[in-house]
Amino acid sequence: MPVRRAEAVWHGSFKDGHGHMQFGEGEFEVDYSAGSRFEEDPGGNPEQLLGAAHAGCFSMALASGLSKAGFPPEAIHTSAEVHLEKTEAGWSVTRVHLTTEVDAPGIEDSAFLELADKAKQNCPISRALGGVEISLEARLAR
């Protein structure tokens, strides 16, 4: 299996510094700072990247499960809300809430919800986040 790469460069102090993150061969690049992470300044932050990774991983796992069950999806749209909170141990990602809407003709709600929950529990990013509460809101597009 291939090894995936990402990198970050930081310049300056924590409060006044700034950095740049990228992955792949520059397919994605974003500037970040303490202000874009802990306030509402422009730029990205590591939690957004984690959320994008989780939403993408979950969507692929759900597409696989639906396809194997005989209901290949036409579209899956997933968003992730990553909660960064100050805890006794310091700043921590405490929970991720996934919201997904899926167009998968022919599947019953109960079977869909079961497959969505299985994808939430078993996608590689969910497993990597073992100490984080992960919730899911899943619905079929009708």
CATH code: domain of residue 127: 3.30.300.20
64 plus 125 within the same structural domain: yes
Domain that holds residue 116: 46-140
Q: What is the pLDDT of residues 92-140, one digit of tens each?
A: 999 999 999 999 999 999 999 999 999 999 999 999 999 999 999 999 9
Task: Give the model's pLDDT for residue 59.
Answer: 98
Tokens at residue 8, please? 């970050």
55 plus 99 within the same structural domain: yes
Task: Give the model's pLDDT for residue 26.
Answer: 80
Task: Give the model's pLDDT for residue 113.
Answer: 98
Q: How many structural domains are present in the chain?
A: 2
Tokens at residue 92, please? 């921590």
31 plus 74 within the same structural domain: no
Residue 142 has pLDDT above 80, yes or no: no
Q: What is the pLDDT of residues 32-91, one digit of tens each?
A: 999 999 999 999 999 999 999 999 999 999 999 999 999 999 999 999 999 999 999 999
Residue 22 forms part of a structural domain: yes
33 plus 93 within the same structural domain: no
65 plus 84 within the same structural domain: yes
Predicted TM-score (pTM) of the model is 0.93
Residue 71 forms part of a structural domain: yes
23 plus 57 within the same structural domain: no
What's the mean pLDDT in 14-22?
95
12 plus 70 within the same structural domain: no
Residue 1 forms part of a structural domain: no
87 plus 57 within the same structural domain: yes
Are 95 and 126 contacting, i.e. CB atoms less than 8 angstroms apart?
no
34 plus 51 within the same structural domain: no
71 plus 91 within the same structural domain: yes
59 plus 23 within the same structural domain: no
96 plus 134 within the same structural domain: yes
